Every structure is written in structure tokens, then in C-alpha cells.
Copies of this chain bind each other. A is one copy, B any other.
Amino acid sequence: MVQTVIPKATAKRLPLYYRYLNFLYNAGKKKVSSTELSEVVKVDSATIRRDFSYFGALGKRGYGYDVETLLNFFKKTLNQDHLTNVALVGVGNLGHALLNYNFQQTNNIRISAAFDVNPEIAGTIQSGVPVYAMDDMVNQLKIQQIDIVILTVPAEDAQAVSEQLIQAGIKGIMNFTPMRISLPANVRVQNVDLANELQTLIYFLDHYSKKDKLHHLQSS
């Protein structure tokens, strides 16, 4: 049953499948069953089969899925067949860590430009990435045709900086600040709220664990 629009929950799992298919491929594995994959990615095998089926019949009954075929399919689907450039705004603590990491490995994503208001950082190169001043931001983003930004500025600057990003025609923001920013509806925001996640983990431990030690407790 091929569909054009895939459920959000499925879309969120695709990069995970892709990553583990890479592992399997590099380990020389030729085929994989939904049950095997389930064990490594910690997603129910029925969910995996259902997820895959949104893209058509990718497997073979009685056999499983051909690793290479599946890998290539997801590579295209996830835009991993070409490099995606993104920018980072706010080269502080967290920004530096992300710059240095730079999503190397299997992910075909690269932070190709960074921006900071601090004149001591602006104009330098950090972990191989040029850091520009804020005045250059709108212009540079347009020149480099970047439409995704990682936002790691202080909380109090999140809204103002985001509005500048809109001016630059940005389409997606990965927001590491604890603020929920207000933006036009056509801009997608992915909030990465680390303090929230940690507090949620603590809440779960205090309120759920005692009762349901039965379930499999892998969250998110």
C-alpha cells in the first residue's frame, strides 16, 4: 500500500532504520528480517513491517529484506544521496560541541556556516567551519542557499534571532533553547529540549517504574 504522506511517527523512525541498515551493510550482512531488525533498533517487528509497507513491497515473503536494496531506498528517501548544508547560530558551549561533531559518520549532513554576535568569535574558523558576524547572516544564508538552522543562542535571544532567520528565508529550525518560538506556520521547528527530557525521565522514574517493571521501557 504505497502512500504519498507517511505518518509522522513513521517518519521519525526512518533515520534510525537507515543508520542500522548501514551497520548491517558494513558488517557484510546480505538480508535482514523484521524480527532481527527489531532486536537492534528496539522497535516492534510489526511496526517495522508496517512502516516499510508505506513505501510499497520492499521485502520478499519467506526471505526478508535485502539489506543493500533497502539501504539504497532509504538513502534516496532521506535525501542522504547528496550533502545537505545547514547553519548554526550561537557558537557557545553547545554550539562548539555540535560544530566539532558535525554529524560526520553515516549522516550526509554538514554544518557549513556558523554565526555569532561575539566579535571575538565572528571572523574565525571553528572546527573547520567559518563563523560569520550576525550582520552577514541573512546574506550568507541566501548565498549558500541554506534553509535549515541549528539554534544555540541564549534563551532570551531565541525569538529575535529566529525572526532574523525568517528574513533569510529559513524553512526549518532545530531549536536547542528552552523557549517555544513564535513563527509563521510554514516554518518547521524541531524543539530539542534537553532540560525537559531530563525532567521527564526523572518524572517517569518516580511515577511509573514502580508499577510497570513489566514493560519494555525504552522511551522516545
Contacts and interface: CB of A to CB of B under 8 A. Distances in A.
A193 B5 contact: no
Nearest to A19: B178
B100 A93 contact: yes
Interface in A190-220: 190-209, 211, 213-220
A220 B191 contact: yes
B40 A180 contact: yes
A191 B219 CA distance: 7
A16 B196 contact: yes
Nearest to A41: B180
A171 interface: yes
Contacts of A186: 209, 213, 217
Contact of A197 (B18, B42, B187, B192): B192
Contacts of A194: 98, 103, 192
Nearest to A185: B216
Interface stretch (A6-14, A64-72, A114-122, A130-138): A6-14
Interface of A: 5-6, 8, 11-12, 14-16, 18-19, 40-42, 77-80, 84, 86, 93-94, 96-98, 100-101, 103, 105, 107, 109, 147-148, 150, 171-172, 174, 178, 180, 182, 185-209, 211, 213-220
7 contacts: A5-B208, A12-B200, A80-B199, A86-B198, A148-B205, A188-B201, A189-B218
